[in-house]
Amino acid sequence: MSKPKVIIIGAGFTGVATAHDLALRGFDVTVVDRGPIANGTSGRTHGLLHSGGRYAVNDKESAIECIEENTIPGVIEPNGGLFVAINESDMAYGEDFIEGCEACHIPIEELKPQQALKLEPNLNPNVLVAFRVPDGTFDPLRLAMSFAATAKSNGAKFKLFTEVTGLILNGQGNVTGIKVWDRTNDERYELYGDVVVNATGAWVGEITAMAGVDVPIRPTPGVMVAFDQRLTNHAINRLNKPGDGDIVLPQRQMVVVGTTSFEVQDLDYVPVIEDHVKLMLERGAELLPTIRNTNMRGAYMATRPLLGSGGSGRSISRTFKCFDHKETHGIDGLVTITGGKATTLRAMAEKTADVVCEKLNISAACTTKEVPLISYREFYRLPNDD
């Protein structure tokens, strides 16, 4: 009997994690992306494997998702994080932070200023209190490539630099496949599957529009700035409600300050706003003053696939949602997964694969918590059988 076929659009964190999950559950998986692996937001993310502390006060659902998922072995640096107070407003937030972390089961340890400075000598010497949390950092490209390589080792096929230009609908208006443009060979062809998974992050609305439906996606870019010395080993977070430039992360021999939050019309052209770059320097220097004496290596941006409407980007929950468009819009054959965080990619994939199994009446359990990922290096060594 032939395996049920699933086409996944998008080879960002969400798409490759879903390919990994579905390949393990025995599906015939094809992943299509108009660029390389991690071509979109995933390739330019900040890289904080969240403990959930950032969301513990105002976005508990997302905080719990983070703490439950922040132990992906192999591709993370489990270097820990500090939430640092440097003024009275930060101190006032401390009580809510302790309560929020307790409610979300995020382990924290209070450190006196001398203890924090001993751990991180470049920290602002006026630090008033710090809380240690189980944050980590990840290398965005390796994280995505490890999932993709493992999916490939279990039979998933990857069609990169292949853009989806349309959905194929049958007479009942249900999705049965995709129309693609192979950008490398300038060829156009069609692919058919039992289910099409739309994992295009901030672009999900462009794909659902091809079936005439809308999803409440709120693309929200942010700017990050890299400095060319590793001034901290911990992820340094400001002890306050989430705001601009309040996280400094070590990435290899650099630190990266992030981020901001704004809106754009054209998702394919997001500017790096000069004022945001200056703000990152100012805010980063409040946490690590030596940033001012460090060379700026570069500034870049990416777009959050936030779900929701109303309010500002900062106030929208970081949780995720999987839409079975049969349930939401009466269109069978199409599933959209978006929202969430890099930190929660495995859980997002599990939810999506569960929905696919349910749609096709297949009973296959998720095993991604137990199955280790193989090295990202294997991705290009493994064959891409058609």
Shortest gap between Cβ of 357 and ligand FAD (angstroms)?
Answer: 20
Residue with Cβ nearer ligand FAD (26 or 35): 35
Interacting residues with ligand FAD between 158 and 187 (CB under 6 A)? 163-164
Cα–Cα distance, 249 to 235 (Å, whole number)? 5
Pick one of 53, 100, 205, 222: the residue that binds ligand FAD (CB under 6 A).
222
> Does residue number 96 form part of the binding site for ligand FAD (CB under 6 A)?
no
Q: Are 66 and 52 in contact (CB under 8 A)?
A: yes
Q: Are 162 and 183 in contact (CB under 8 A)?
A: yes
Stretch that binds ligand FAD, among 98-106, 120-128, 198-206, 356-364 (CB under 6 A): 198-206
Stretch that binds ligand FAD, among 9-17, 73-81, 236-244, 367-375 (CB under 6 A): 9-17
Q: Are 149 and 376 in contact (CB under 8 A)?
A: yes
> Does residue number 208 form part of the binding site for ligand FAD (CB under 6 A)?
no
Pick one of 34, 238, 276, 325: the residue that binds ligand FAD (CB under 6 A).
34
> Does residue number 245 form part of the binding site for ligand FAD (CB under 6 A)?
no
> Does residue number 201 form part of the binding site for ligand FAD (CB under 6 A)?
yes
Residue with Cβ nearer ligand FAD (30 or 129): 30
> Does residue number 48 form part of the binding site for ligand FAD (CB under 6 A)?
yes
Give the number of other Cβ atoms within 10 Å of residue 193's Cβ: 21
Give the count of residues interacting with ligand FAD (CB under 6 A). Answer: 40
- DSSP per position, 69-81: HTT--SSEE---E
> Does residue number 81 form part of the binding site for ligand FAD (CB under 6 A)?
no
Give the number of other Cβ atoms within 10 Å of residue 274's Cβ: 10
Shortest gap between Cβ of 361 and ligand FAD (angstroms)?
Answer: 27
CA angle 68, 71, 77 (to 5 degrees): 140
101: Cβ contacts below 8 Å, ≥ 6 apart = 52, 53, 56, 107, 108, 131, 133
Cα–Cα distance, 238 to 245 (Å, whole number)? 9
Interacting residues with ligand FAD between 339 and 358 (CB under 6 A)? 340-343
Cα–Cα distance, 124 to 120 (Å, whole number)? 9
Shortest gap between Cβ of 345 and ligand FAD (angstroms)?
Answer: 7
> Does residue number 35 form part of the binding site for ligand FAD (CB under 6 A)?
yes
Cα–Cα distance, 57 to 54 (Å, whole number)? 8
- Residues that bind ligand FAD in the complex, under the rule CB under 6 A: 9-15, 32-35, 39-42, 45-48, 50, 163-164, 199-203, 222, 224, 258-259, 302-305, 338, 340-343
